[in-house]
Structure formats: C-alpha cells, structure tokens
A and B are shown apart, each in its own frame.
Chain A
C-alpha cells in the first residue's frame, strides 16, 4: 500500500508545489521586486512583464533541459568511455559496434522498419479513411480500427503472438495452413520475413492514428475540386489519386514522419516477440541488451539512433519556424 500513499503524496506535493511556485513567484515579482506602487511604477511594470515569461517557463525549461537536452550531450560524453566509465576510449565503442554483426543486423532491420512501417500504416490509414468516409457505419469502423492505439506494445505483442502461435489449435495462421494441409510453421523464425510479421504489429497499431488524421484532412478538401472532376468525367480512382491525395500531401508527410519517429523509439515489440533472436533485432532493442551491462556501448547505440533521427528533426524544426 505504501506506493499508493507515496503516489498521493507526490500528487499533492507536486501539484501543490507547482501552484505555490507559480503563485508565489508572481507575487514576489509584483510586490517585492518590482512593486507597482512606487515612483517608478511604469518602469517596474515593464520590467515585471519582461521577467514574468521566464517565471512561467522556468519549470518546463528546467525539466526539458535536464531530461532531454542534457542527455544528448551526456550520452555522447558517456559513450566515449569504457564499460566502467573510468577509462576514456574515444570512439572505441563505436568502432566495436560497427565491427559487430549484431549491430549491423540491427541497423539493417531498423531501416527496414523505417521504410516499411510508416509506409504501410499511412497507406492503410489513407485507404481506410477514404473508404469509410461515405459509409453509414464508417465511424464505428474507424473506431474499431483506431482501438489498437490504446493497447500497450506489450499487450499488442501478446495478441499477435497468439495469432502467430505454432500450434494450429491456437494460432489462426497455422490453423489456416493446417486446413489447407500444410504443416505448421513458426513465422517468427522465417529468416528475413519474420521482420515483416513483427513490423505488422506496429502497422496494426499505427494505422488508426494515420486514418484519423488523414480522414480529417480528406474532409477538409474543398468540395468544388471534387465536383469539378466528377463533371469532367473522372472515375473514383482518378478522383482519389489525382485530386484528393495531392491536396493532402503535407498532412501525409506529417503522418509519415510522426510514425517514423515513433518507430525509432519502440523496443517493446521486438523485445516481447523474439527478444531479438532470429535476426529480428532493431537498434532500440539492441541497446537494451547493453543497458545495465555496458553503459558505454548502450549510450553509443543511443547516439546512433539520435544520428538517424537528426536530419528529420532539423527539417521538422525548420518547418515549425517557418510557421511561427
């Protein structure tokens, strides 16, 4: 029971602390440091206005800096040291990684994931968004396809492990094979293709996300463009691929990149499905092999992931600044 009490205390202290901080710091600013009642009233108000944003921002900037900015530097720094962290070995950990077969497999599979998962999820999402748009029960269908989003990666892996199970009385895939007179196979052990069976779990989970956003984007398309193309005699496929898709291109890119980032973070699925065996390792799960064992190598792997993310991250920031 103690964690619950600890949790309740944390909520009270955390929430109370935050509120107290914001209230007290503003009060101190307005009444003690720059009181608006003295002779320099105007100047003090201006100064207080200059400082206040930073009061509002401080906790967030502090937490973000500590948990996300510092680790970029901290991880890189740590990756230059050996296992115990005492001896500086330069890029030794990176040399080791690039020479290792397991790492190369992980990098290869990771690129497979980045190529396949976002593409497939966006494709299915787009198709389902378009198909359900005109259906009377479209919202129900969308809701059901969206549902895996709420399931944990571990739960989803369990669900699919059940589908892929070797026993034809348990796994539906082998039940189908069995009914066709084929012998059961363990799809998680087929070289190379097992990756796709694992990736499909991620596709299954992310399609709903893509569908929700793309369906909103499709509804935002001006009716006139579609009507005009109907009058010009375009068939439904032409309308979809030539008229609608080009108009929501930017949204498709956003969906695609968002799923790509998510894909790069996910270690749970591989960890639960195969534990990285049968050549299914990807970088996040490969990193966990070293976590708690060799921090130098673990941080080196993490930094490699960061390097893969970096180009898209810069592109994302540019995009955001253009809008701001």
Chain B
C-alpha cells in the first residue's frame, strides 16, 4: 500500500505541473500583448515584454546647444550638459555614431583618429578608426582595424573625441573649429514606462471609437431579434403537434452546418436588388438569418426538457398556446435564452466576414475587426503598442461578458452538444 500511496503523490505533482504548464502556454500570448498595450512604444522596440518590469536601455540622439566653444591648444572644445535630453537618471553609455551609440561608458572617452593602414596586398591607405579608452589613461591604439588591416603605429592623427559623465556632463573635442552642433549619442537606462498612452492614441486619433460604436450598433439588434424569432419557433417545434415536425427539426440541424460562404454572394445581390444594399439594416438581417439555426436548435433542446406536467395543466386550465409560451415557457427558458444571447453576442461582435461583405467598405462603417485587420495591421504594421491597445479595446467587452456569464455559456454549450 505504501508503494501505491507514493505513486499517487508523484502522479499528483506531475498533474499539477502539467496543468500549470498548459495554462501558462495558453495564457502567455494574451498576457504578452496585454502588457505591451501599456508599454511605451520605444520600449517595446528595445526589450521583450517579459522584461517589461525592468529598466530599458534606450539610445538618444542629442544635439547640444552650440555655446561656449573654446580653444585648447590645437583642439576646439565644447562642454555642457545633456541633462533633460534623455529619460532616466544615469547615462549608461555614449557614442559618436548611430552605429554604436553605446560605445563608451562614463569615465571613458570615445575618439576618432585618422590612421594609415597596411592592406593585405601591402598597399598603404588611410582610414578612420574609433577607439574607446579610459579618460585618465589617454588613448591607446589597436594593432589592426575592423577589416583586419594592420595599423601602422604613430600615424594616428586626432579627429574628434567625446566623453560623458554619468550625470550627463559632456566634453567634445574636435580638430577643426566647431561650427555646427555635433550629434551625440547617449544610452540611458529608462525606468519602465507604463501608461494608457497607446489607448489614448488609438481612441482619439485613429477612429477606433467610431469602430467601437459601429460594432456595438451591429451587435445588439443582431443579438436581440433572432432570440425572439427563434423562441417562438423553438416552442412550436418542442410543444406543438403538427405533421412534418421531425423533418423541420432535422432541417434545422442540417442548416447548422451550412457554410456561411454560400450565402454571401446571393444575399448581397438580393440586398442590392431590394434596396438594402450594404448597410447596417443588411447586416442585422444577415446576422439574424445566420444565427437562427443555432438559436432554434439550442432553445428547442432546452424547451423539450421542460416538465410536461406544468404545460399540460396550464392547457387544461384553458391557457392558449400563446399564453403558455409567454407566461410559462419563456420565463422557464431563461438559461437557454441567456446562453444563446452570449453565443450570438460573441459571434457578431467578433465577426469579420459578414461585416466585410454586408457593411459598406468606407471607413465610417468599419467595425473593430475590419478596422484592425484591414487598416491597422497595414498602416500601423510594426507599431505593436497601438496594435495591442486596439486589440484589447476590441477584446475587452466580450472578455468581460465571458467571465461574467461563463455559467450560461457552459450550459448552452452542453445543451448543444451532449445528448
């Protein structure tokens, strides 16, 4: 028995760990985008979202004011402060080229020299090298340049140099007179920058608010109307006797799986012919038609399971079918109505296909899915902060709905699938 008990606990740990792993895999993508939607767009480019809580090394290009140039020996010198031109407290590195903006660290000097090099074929050429050395020790030169050519000693001619302290005090030395402000590159550790900036941008400048309202406008009528139509039909299919009933039920089951794609061209043509065209009215009608099979199927399945006694005794007491339906069956079917409402709401809110076909293609009528897929992914392709914020603006409502009404959602799924 000890053995079995021991095995059990080992298995339990494995179970815990594997479920944890699966949950992490399932959650990580969403969390990543969610975190990114709050991050500063520059920081998104610099480090992965998994490093979001840590400071980010960010490079800045600074052009200091050209004031107080002095001459020291044969060099021109510009000194001053870079403070305020970069975010964060301390300078972590600096440089004189955009290629390597963090070449030197505070306490060091970055300099450019002209040197003569001996190329592989023995030819002598002049080139420029950039070196870094501790300021106090003075320059020292490598034996070869980046291309592997030997540098001929003592041919170095000073061109320019830069040193920056941690506090942002810089000293720029130049062999020529400084007539234009030099470009200084500074790398600073910026503290994590979280905020609602992306959301503000997307909602104020990108017409996403309009798309949000359009989505809402499409969704609500497209959820309410099919419920009503389907409820009556479901009652008839569940509690009224008439020839051909089982055929109709089978027909609804068949229609459940008819691909939506078939309806696009003929129905759009029809909408154009009867004057509805591509419009909100058209998409409400389309969503109503497409949602009905599931609605009728779910509601009928639920209504069939209601206790026969209640309905029959009401009929014996003289209630008409209409009264039985409105006073007894409809209130009792609330859970099924709720679960279909959630399905239809999620489906219409998240739909891209029907919106692309049945709504006008101008930007005033875009719903959020169309806005993201057809506009933002193209125009804001690499701007992940904006894209993430847009995605979460569109996800927030269904997600809230999902967690608030999960019970009904699960119930509806079970009613539809487990027999």
Contact = CB atoms under 8 A, between A and B. Distances in A.
A209 interface: yes
A22 B322 contact: yes
Interface centre among A75, A158, A261 (most CB of B within 10 A): A158
B14 to A, nearest CB: 9
Contacts of B391: 155, 158-159
Contacts of B22: 124, 128, 131, 141, 145
Interface stretch (A8-16, A96-104, A185-193, A221-229): A8-16
A151 interface: yes
A287 interface: yes
B221 A67 contact: no
A212 B418 CA distance: 11
B10 to A, nearest CB: 11
A91 interface: no
B151 to A, nearest CB: 31
B19 A135 contact: yes
A6 B280 contact: yes
A15 B224 CA distance: 8
Interface in A29-79: 30, 49-50, 52-54, 56-57, 59-61, 63-64, 66-72, 74-75, 78
Interface in A184-243: 204, 207, 209, 212-213, 216-217, 220, 236
Number of chain A interface residues as a range: 35 or more
The 8 closest A-B pairs by CB, nearest first: A67-B289, A152-B350, A74-B266, A60-B233, A150-B402, A56-B236, A71-B263, A320-B253
Given A6-B280, A145-B22, A60 B320 contact: no
B36 interface: yes
Interface string B1-29: 00000000001100110111011001111
Given A159-B33, A212-B413, A321-B246, A306 B259 contact: yes
Interface stretch (B44-52, B60-68, B190-198, B200-208): B44-52
B417 A150 contact: no
Dominant SS at the B interface? helix
Given A3-B214, A66-B267, A144-B23, 18 more contacts: A3-B280, A6-B280, A14-B228, A49-B321, A52-B236, A63-B229, A64-B252, A71-B267, A131-B22, A148-B30, A149-B409, A152-B351, A154-B369, A170-B45, A170-B49, A212-B414, A295-B269, A306-B259
21 contacts: A10-B284, A54-B242, A56-B235, A56-B240, A60-B230, A64-B296, A72-B262, A74-B265, A74-B266, A135-B16, A143-B406, A147-B402, A162-B32, A169-B46, A170-B384, A236-B11, A250-B419, A272-B377, A295-B265, A319-B253, A321-B250
Contact of A151 (B217, B260, B290, B395): B395
Given A143-B406, A162-B33, A57 B232 contact: yes
A285 to B, nearest CB: 10
Contacts of A247: none
B221 A204 contact: no
Contact of A255 (B45, B252, B417): B417
A60 B296 contact: yes
Interface in B197-252: 213-214, 216-218, 220-221, 224-225, 228-230, 232-233, 235-237, 240-242, 245-246, 248-252
A18 B221 contact: no
B177 to A, nearest CB: 41
Contacts of A134: 12, 15
Dominant SS at the A interface? helix
B281 A301 contact: no
Nearest to A305: B259
Contacts of A6: 217, 280-281
B173 to A, nearest CB: 35
Contacts, number: 343
B187 interface: no
B217 to A, nearest CB: 4
Contacts of A11: 220-221, 224-225
B261 interface: yes
Contacts of A298: 264-265
Contacts of A209: 413
Nearest to B378: A275
Nearest to B44: A170
Nearest to A136: B16
Contacts of B220: 7, 11
A165 B228 CA distance: 45
A122 interface: no
Contacts of A115: none
A245 interface: no
Interface of A: 3-4, 6-7, 10-11, 14-15, 18-19, 22-23, 26, 30, 49-50, 52-54, 56-57, 59-61, 63-64, 66-72, 74-75, 78, 124, 128, 131-132, 134-135, 138, 141, 143-155, 157-160, 162-163, 165, 167-170, 172, 175, 204, 207, 209, 212-213, 216-217, 220, 236, 250-251, 254-255, 258, 261, 264-265, 267-268, 271-272, 284, 287-288, 291, 295, 298-299, 301-303, 305-306, 309, 312-314, 316-317, 319-321, 323-324
B181 interface: no
Contact of A153 (B27, B33, B352, B409): B352
Contacts of A254: 417-419
Interface in B140-159: none
Nearest to A295: B265
Nearest to B237: A57
Contacts of B321: 26, 49, 52, 56
B352 A154 contact: yes
A216 B417 CA distance: 11
B328 interface: no
Interface in B269-318: 269-270, 280-281, 284-286, 288-290, 292-293, 296
Given A18-B228, A146-B406, A147-B399, A154 B261 contact: no
Nearest to B357: A291
Contact of A265 (B241, B259, B410): B259
Contacts of A64: 251-252, 255, 289, 292-293, 296
Contacts of B258: 68, 71-72, 306, 309, 313
B175 interface: no
